[in-house]
Copies of this chain bind each other. A is one copy, B any other.
Amino acid sequence: MKKIINDVANVEEEMILGLVKAAPQKLRKLDYGTIVVREPKQEDKVALVSGGGSGHEPAHGGYVGEGMLDCAVAGTVFTSPTPDQVLEGIKAVATDKGVLCIVKNYTGDVMNFEMAIEMAADEGIKADYVVVNDDVAVKDSLYTTGRRGVAGTIFVHKIAGAKAAEGASLEEVKAAAEKVIANVRSMGMAIEPCTVPAAGKPGFELSDTEMEIGIGIHGEPGTHREALGTADSIAKMLLDSILADLDYTGSDVVVLVNGMGGTPLMELYIVNNFVQDYLKEKGIRVYDTMVGNYMTSIEMAGFSLTLLRLDDEMKKLYDAKADTLAWKK
């Protein structure tokens, strides 16, 4: 394992400290655990809380700020935060309008966020949650019942965040989040695995001529392995899987070409070149495009594609101001 770190035991703590120190006027780390909250606390809006295991940087701490999240709770690498940690995050940002938790669909995350929400209710906090499940690659997996939540989660942060910033009610913010979830689909692949610092070795191994299709974001293998194809053929395969699941024909979409952490932008742009042409050919209109590292698996080399269908209300929310480390609008 070759990494630029200090001590395997301190990776999460030092990372969150370093993230907060990149915007110390706008972010704060709670003393209790690796939890990032927005500064100053916002009182007149529904508070948005997300989180999950570490290793997905900039998710989720990089999305805390104006127009997006109020709090991101990070567990250790690829491990759900505990209910206690999530509860601390909820309590730190809760308002009278309530709290919406945005949870990626992994068994541990869903269970721990649910428990934290119950514990928060016992303390008089009105909290609810949505579960993001945008990954079309797998139905059930070692980590999930139903589909996994992957890069499409950032669109839930953005659009529900904008709705909350407008002063909407908890029910309205939840409805905006659910609308994103209903309209977002993703799929990913990798040419190199990642290494969890505490494990010290990669989650799977690939030869120089192989690629892994349908990877998730926790270093686990994908659905199957193939001979490494061209950028165009890989992008086509992922898009065809997404389009077979949800018919985007005639829609306005946001495209996310997401790097898994170790993928050079050069390759992501080459992928985007194909993606844009292919969507045009399919009669799908591109409203906006994002290319970069938005939801990663540490240093995994590979990418995922995400399509989000937008209606007029979602366009307005998508375009609204956001001021976070990883996404400014």
List A220-278 residues whose CB lies under 8 Å from chain B.
228, 230-232, 234, 261-274, 276-277
A5, A228, A290 pick with most chain B CB within 10 angstroms: A5
Nearest chain B CB to A10 CB, angstrom units: 8
Question: Which of these, B18, B289, B296, contacts A23 with CB under 8 Å?
Answer: B289
Per-residue 0/1 for A14-37: is the Cβ within 8 Å of any B Cβ (1 yes, 0 no)? 111111011100000000000000
A266-B57, A289-B23 as given contacts; A191 in contact with B4, CB under 8 Å: yes
Q: Which of A270-310 contact B (CB under 8 A)?
A: 270-274, 276-277, 289-293, 296, 298-299, 301-303
Q: Does A192 contact B (CB under 8 A)?
A: yes
A299 touches B264 (CB 8 A): yes
Q: Are A2 and B192 in contact (CB under 8 A)?
A: yes
Contacts of A272 in B (CB 8 A): 18-19, 21-22
| CB under 8 Å from chain B, chain A span 36-57 | 54-55, 57
What band does the interface of chain A fall in when counting residues whose beta carbon is under 8 Å from B?
35 or more
Chain B residues within an 8 Å CB radius of A329: 328
**Complex Cα–Cα for A285 and B7 (A):** 27
From residue A57, how far is it (CB to closest CB) to chain B in Å? 4
Kindly list chain B residues whose C-beta atoms are within 8 Å of the C-beta of A230: 5-7
Task: Determine whether the beta carbon of B5 is less than 8 Å from that of A298.
Answer: no
The docked-state distance in angstroms from the alpha carbon of A54 to that of B296 is: 24
Neighbouring B residues of A2 by C-beta, 8 Å: 191-192, 208, 228, 301
Contact in complex: B191, A6 (CB < 8 Å) = no
Report the Cα distance A11→B232, complex, angstroms.
12
Among B11, B54, B276, contact of A21 (Cβ-Cβ < 8 Å): B276
Closest residue to A210 on the B side, CB-wise? B2
Closest to A23 in B: B289
A301 to B268 CA separation, bound complex (whole angstroms)? 17
Does A202 lie at the interface of the complex (its beta carbon under 8 Å from any beta carbon of B)? no
CA distance A234 to B4 in the complex (A): 9
A interface, CB within 8 angstroms of B: 2-7, 11, 14-19, 21-23, 54-55, 57-58, 62, 191-192, 194, 208, 228, 230-232, 234, 261-274, 276-277, 289-293, 296, 298-299, 301-303, 325, 328-329
